[in-house]
Structure 1
Amino acid sequence: MPQRPDTLETVLLAVELLRRIPRGRKITASELHRQLKDAGIERSERTIQRQLEMLSSHFEIERDERSKPYGYRWLERAQTLAVPHLTPHESLLLQLAEEHLKHLLPARLMQSMDGFFTQARRNLGDDSQGHGTQSTRLAREWPRKVRVVATSQPLLPPAIPSGVLEEVSDALYANRWLELDYQNAAGKRKSIKVMPLGLAQQGPRLYLVCRYEDFDNERSLALHRIRKAQASTLTFARPVEFDLQKYDDDGRFGFGEGQQVRLTFCIENEAGFHLRETPLSKDQHVQDHNDGWMEITATVVDSAMLDWWLRGFGTAVTDVRKMTLNTEEK
């Protein structure tokens, strides 16, 4: 099979770089080199540097030469490279995906999608002149028609130190050991080496599920308590017995240990009405009492979160009983 001409290879590389140069923040040649490598495009960093020098002289791309490594970004009002055939519905999907996946996908993977996200935002941007198609206008209105609402008191997300999420997600994605400077809830700070196994978002917080070096049990570390993170060059074999779904089902994010119990409690009808519509478990049983109360029985995972939830009802919940599945009552 004949090789593609060097000219075509150069054009394709230029297109990939133009797509990945962001607006509003700077990116370096080494960062673009990593993105292209992750996408399966092998080019030397020097080649990318030469291409960036050429592109910044022909397009509305700012080259920050105040310090090395140089940073590149599209000027604020520049027309960035458009992603072809991106329909209004595809633009809407990308816009929603960017918002909800930004903490759950590897940071570099999200960065490699910058060109698509930027074009999606532009496609659904302001249309004060009314020139867009009806489909575009309807897609633009959709984000204002839907909302994910909180099930408890809303909290602002804790601040995660710069670079931590990127290093953690990179190590998790590539199965590499992770070196952390971690400060626990009691304020104790120490350096640890961990095997990253999973990333979970719980409300406004992000948690890293990992194993400490020389240990075979899992722990959850709050990302905002990681002061510094560095992905190692050393890889590990991911434990075949670990399952993030099972870890969650066992109530580990609710400070449980996977112990299932048969829970029984009485609750006022008004306070517990929602449990008829959204039961605690598939085997939940509701017994109505004549005094304005009902008795709930369900098989659930025992955890501190369960206790907090029950205490949240105050005097509207009474007679709480737990029986483990081996019939020993707690």
Structure 2
Amino acid sequence: MQENDPANERRRKRAIFRNLFMLDNLPTFPARGMTLSEIHTLLEDEGFELSTRTIQRDLKMLSEWANLGYEDDDLGYRRWFRDLKKRNVLDILPTSEAFMLVLSEQLLRRVLPLHQSDKLEAWLNQANVALSSKHLYANWMKKVRVVSDNYPIIYDEQHIDEQYRKIIYESVLNEKVISISYQLSEVSDIKYYTLNPLGLIIREQSHYLVATKEESPEVPQLFLFHKIISVQKEYLGITKPKSFTLDEYYTKNPTGWLLEDTLATVELKVKHYALDVVKHNKLSIDQQLEQIDETWWKVTFTCYPTYDLIGWILKFGQDVVCLSPTSLKQFVVKRLRATIENYE
């Protein structure tokens, strides 16, 4: 076949156009790159008919002269991007963002899987360098502390085997069924469940899997990571509840241990420290404050009654009095009496 064969020339021009189209549509680092499958779909949508093998050859060729780069993501997928003098994302990070990253360290260490800890450590080191290189901000970390509103509990990272946590994360992300063995306490029997993972809730040092059991697919439940003994992939799609969103589920504060599964109008009398808190924060979006006298104020709001709320009331001791509902008031009184008995 001659070099100037019209069919050959058309194929050559189409290959050039295809490569230019790929270059024009690939993200530029540090943006998230595209997988081979995503590139294939992009080209097919544009009318190119070709195999993934051809795309692989194109990518290899382009990487040699067109500044293409790639990185493997956490799930093992290779992601391609335009590598224009590939700069580390933190090299161009403004000082304010670097500062926020360093301050977020405690939270990030609790949320991220352990296999990400090396990457987090590198990012934090670079963020610290970025801060220390700016004279104005060099002493920020010596002048700022982020503290918990509660007693500072020392976080134990080893609350679940890392391979099991990775399976849980991937199953939530990919909406795949898992089987777990679960032990409520050291003296209870181990239970075995097939679960439909729906989401994750991370509260201080506790990580919760939100899921439904195979036999009750409409009833979301919480499963504490540190009580999960083992996890196994089932490679099946989950059965979703007919009406469920993590936001709606979380509004009930399920990790605060529900006392009642219905909204209640709560009335409290507050003074001193408790009054200062509710004047500058809200116990609920509809919170209302009303002055009773020179000392006491009444705070009214709606919420799902939880042990969290009881804990908040008891936290301020004599500065908070529960007025209603009666059921919540009885819970508070019962707790106070039981506490006093422990000291008698």
Fold match (TM-score > 0.5): yes
Over residues 153-172 of structure 1, what are the superposed CA-to-partner deviations in whole Å (9 max), with x where a residue is unaligned?
Answer: 11122432222321111111
Query: Once superposed, what is the RMSD of the aligned Cα atoms?
Result: 3.9
Does structure 1 retain, via aligned residues, the 8 Å contact 2:70–2:80? no
Cα distance, 1:225 vs structure 2? 1.3
| Equivalent position of 1:229 in the other structure | 231
- The 1:284/1:6 distance shift into structure 2, 3 A limit, reads closer
The alignment status of 1:322 with 2:325, answered yes or no, reads yes
The alignment status of 1:156 with 2:154, answered yes or no, reads yes
The alignment status of 1:177 with 2:182, answered yes or no, reads no
- Output the CA distance in 1 between the equivalents of 2:105 and 2:114: 12
Cα distance, 1:236 vs structure 2? 1.9
Which structure has greater helix proportion? Answer: 2
The alignment status of 1:287 with 2:320, answered yes or no, reads no
Cα distance, 1:207 vs structure 2? 0.9
Q: Which has the larger radius of gyration?
A: 2
- The 1:40/1:162 distance shift into structure 2, 3 A limit, reads farther
1:263 partner amino acid: V
Over residues 136-194 of structure 1, what are the superposed CA-to-partner deviations in whole Å (9 max), with x where a residue is unaligned?
Answer: x5566555554432111111224322223211111111111112121114642222211
| Equivalent position of 1:278 in the other structure | 281
Cα distance, 1:304 vs structure 2? 2.2
| Equivalent position of 1:16 in the other structure | 70
The alignment status of 1:269 with 2:267, answered yes or no, reads no
TM-score, length basis structure 2: 0.62
Cα distance, 1:323 vs structure 2? 6.8
1:83 partner amino acid: N
| Equivalent position of 1:36 in the other structure | 77
Does structure 1 retain, via aligned residues, the 8 Å contact 2:101–2:127? no
- Output the CA distance in 2 between the equivalents of 1:33 and 1:283: 42
2:179 partner amino acid: E
Cα distance, 1:276 vs structure 2? 1.7
2:192 partner amino acid: S
Extract unaligned runs of 5+ from structure 2: 1-13, 20-57, 328-344
Cα distance, 1:201 vs structure 2? 1.1
- Output the CA distance in 2 between the equivalents of 1:270 and 1:84: 44
- Output the CA distance in 2 between the equivalents of 1:85 and 1:277: 35
With a CA cutoff of 8 Å and minimum separation of 6, indicate the structure with the bigger relative contact order: 1
Extract unaligned runs of 5+ from structure 1: 21-31, 42-80, 325-330
| Equivalent position of 1:251 in the other structure | 253
Cα distance, 1:274 vs structure 2? 1.8
Cα distance, 1:40 vs structure 2? 7.6
- Output the CA distance in 2 between the equivalents of 1:285 and 1:89: 40
